[in-house]
Amino acid sequence: MAVRTGNAEWRGDLKDGGGTVTVASGLFDAPYSFSTRFEEEPGTNPEELIGAAHASCFSMALSNILAQDGHTADSVRTSAKVHLRNIEGAPTIARIDLETEGRVPGIDQTQFEGYAEQAKAGCPVSRALAAVGEITLEARLAG
């Protein structure tokens, strides 16, 4: 299987320093800082990147599960909200809320929810994040 590389460089101390995060393909290169991670300053942070990875992996997995069962999706759109909390004095990813909406001809809401649960359990990023205390899922079939 493929090996993918992400890179980061940090300069300075935690509060006043800053860094850059990149991906090997060159398609993403962005600064990050204490303020973009722990405060509300605009910019990227590791949790946002984890959310993007989880949402993209989940959408692909759900589309694949649907197609394997004969239901090609017109679209699957997913959001992953990553909650960073202080637990026992340490910043911790404590919860991820997955919200997905699919346009899939020929199935009903209950079927869609079942397929979404399969994707949640099986996507590689979900499995990698198994230590997260809670991963919720809201699945909506668009009309």
pLDDT in tens, 79-137: 999 999 999 999 999 999 999 999 999 999 999 999 999 999 999 999 999 999 999 99
Q: What is the value of pTM for the model shown?
A: 0.94
Q: What is the pLDDT of residue 22?
A: 96
- Characterize 15-41 residue by residue with b for buried, 16 or more Cβ atoms within 10 angstroms of its Cβ, and e for exposed: eeeebebeeeeeeeeeebbbebbeeee
Tell me the angle at which helices 46-68 and 109-122 cross, rounded to the nearest 10 degrees.
120
